[in-house]
Structure 1
């Protein structure tokens, strides 16, 4: 098997048949062995019913239904696990990713790249709820990951299968696959793709997802910088805590030695408590760093 298409589906009954027709037309023209894996994220409309009928008529199709609505990242992870192709292409099932762009993604892989990431250069989304938040998020993702991409958010990407074996997905991390893969030396390129408007159904994206992405940006920043050296992160915090706490307690000790009759708790009670907490926090950070070093080895 040379090519696997992974498509997460959630309540896309109006898009499934047009998507299938256009997708198979493109794939047949490529003259490569292929398979299409639809991951139904427990749709509540007729999506699974339509997919069940299609899979009986086309041996290239495979349908996986999740037991509950786990979200897009989990659906993609399930599809990657089932994929048998040497090249895996992920795309959405709402027809906002044009199957006709698949040859351009494959051409970039043929140039020697490990990941071809789609770039919605001319987006047709709402400027307030989609374009502006997306532009900010993409800028933050690029700075946090060190990977120079214009569009992290799109699912439409082509991967060499061996690249995906090193990437473990959770949360909303599917959009960070290029960054995670680059950590292992993968070469990433960007390919302009179409971004047609959604013709049916409702978008599953909105401002609420932007906040979840912000938390994932912090996660990815930590993973990429300190995954193999956690002591550098926790040790630095521990050093600050120990230095400040030790300085405070040292000051209080010197004052007690110089003025025996002074009740330090009356004069510096909050300061002593703060110093003790900083010392304990510093020791805990050092311990966490050491445990992290043991775990990664």
Structure 2
């Protein structure tokens, strides 16, 4: 099969209600752009009939295919699998819940034809989110900009178009603790943003709880910075300085005024405080050690249970060494 010009990767997890509405809006857009396109759904261990609906759509339109995981591996891994299977000259990544308007793909392609190798959707409004979520998002981006290896474009997410050169570069990155937003920026290439407004989710509920978002944010910081490790070094020096200063203070006080009855509550508070500091620092070190452990095991990023349609064949135009370790 000849290489299609445009590939669209759509990670899905229990999105059965959104498959038909998405295809109704997406396919006319792709047909207006080019007849050479493919859509690859990556089923991330759905427990509903998402995959059955995709099979039905694929029978009616052979340019639609799917890769189904053996279990839930997470959205970041699903994106990596989609990049492995996409064969287009340009690859679009988008969500299935229609919060990413399919009509924006035309604007992405226009920017791509102008010479940009990375075109990302840049959301202009976060009024649909709670004040707490917006606040934590602002804190995360400020921390990443301050301590991360590379800056992240404000408002940019996974909704984007990536040229084949960028796709090939991303496929060489076999790390397991993936933070795709950071990887997009890390590979570089000429990039530009296209403003868009996130639409309301029509069916289903978001899969991103506050706990998952917090974990995802920490993964992003840990994957692109060693500052969390260095912070505890600084805290250790500070506590040591305070301890020496306190010892000098009590020594001088004892020499001048004599001893007094030591306070038991203050002793307990001090022990608990420093114990907490030690446990927190060990926890941060453990997070990094855990990531090292996950990498050295060299397990595959994902396991494919089923492929649907010809559009889900593995791309073989570039097969780096680390990719060989995770092909299935």
Q: Does 1:103 align with 2:106?
A: yes
In the alignment of these two chains, the number of paired residues is 223
Q: Distance in 1 between matches of 2:150 and 2:100?
A: 26
Report the CA distance between 1:165 and its aligned residue. Answer: 1.8
Instruction: Give 5+ residue unaligned stretches, structure 2.
Output: 234-328
- Distance of 2:76 and 2:40 partners within structure 1: 15
Selected match of 1:55 from 54, 58, 65: 58
Distance 1:140 1:178, change over 3 A: farther
Q: Which residue of 1 aligns with 2:177?
A: 171
* From 9, 13, 37, the counterpart of 2:12: 9
The answer to whether the 8 A contact 2:38-2:64 is kept is yes
Who is 2:219 aligned against?
A: 215
Q: 1:217 to 1:128 in 2, by over 3 A?
A: same
Q: Name the CA distance, whole Å, in 2 between partners of 1:2 and 1:98.
A: 20
Report the Cα distance in structure 1 between the residues aligned to 2:142 and 2:74, rounded to whole angstroms. 24
The runs of 5 or more residues in structure 1 that have no matched partner are: 226-232, 238-297
Q: What's the CA shift string for 1:38-59, capped at 9, x where partnerless?
A: 0000101111110011111101
Query: Could you say which structure has the higher helix fraction?
Result: 1
Length-normalised TM-score, structure 2 = 0.63
Q: How much does 1:77 deviate?
A: 0.6
SS in 2 for 1:155: strand
Q: Distance in 2 between matches of 1:59 and 1:210?
A: 39
Q: What residue number does 1:206 align with?
A: 209
8 Å Cα contact 2:117/2:162 also seen in 1: yes
TM superposition shift of 1:219: 1.7
- Larger relative contact order (Cα-Cα within 8 Å, sequence gap ≥ 6): 2
Residues 124 and 197, structure 1, Cα contact 8 Å, conserved in 2: no
1:246-274 deviations in Å (ceiling 9; x for gaps): xxxxxxxxxxxxxxxxxxxxxxxxxxxxx
- Distance between the aligned counterparts of 2:96 and 2:187, measured in 1? 24
2:179–2:219 contact (8 Å) kept in structure 1 = no
Distance change (3 Å), C-alpha of 1:165 and 1:31: closer
Within 5 Å, which residues of 2 pair with 1:1-297? 1-143=4-146, 144-152=148-156, 154-167=157-170, 168=173, 170-182=176-188, 186-208=189-211, 209-221=213-225
- Root mean square deviation, CA, Å: 2.3
Q: Is residue 11–residue 45 contact of structure 1 (8 Å, CA) maintained in 2? A: yes
Give the drift of 1:221: 3.0
Instruction: Report the Cα distance in structure 1 between the residues aligned to 2:145 and 2:111, rounded to whole angstroms.
Output: 21
Please say which of residues 102-111 and 5-14 is displaced more in the overlay: 102-111
> 1:138 Cα shift?
2.7
Change (3 A) 1:124 1:36: farther
Distance 1:66 1:90 in 2: 18
Measured after TM superposition, the shift of residue 129 of structure 1 is: 4.7
C-alpha distance 135-206 of structure 1, shift in aligned 2 (>3 A): farther
The secondary structure found in structure 2 opposite 1:165 is helix
For normalisation by structure 1, the TM-score amounts to: 0.69
Shift of 1:181: 1.2
TM-superposition CA deviations, 1:78-136 (whole Å, max 9, x none)? 11000000100000111111101111111222221111111111234322353222222
| Aligned counterparts of 2:19 and 2:127: Cα–Cα separation in 1 | 21
Distance in structure 2 (CA, Å) of the matches to 1:205 and 1:128: 16
Offset of residue 155 of structure 1: 1.5
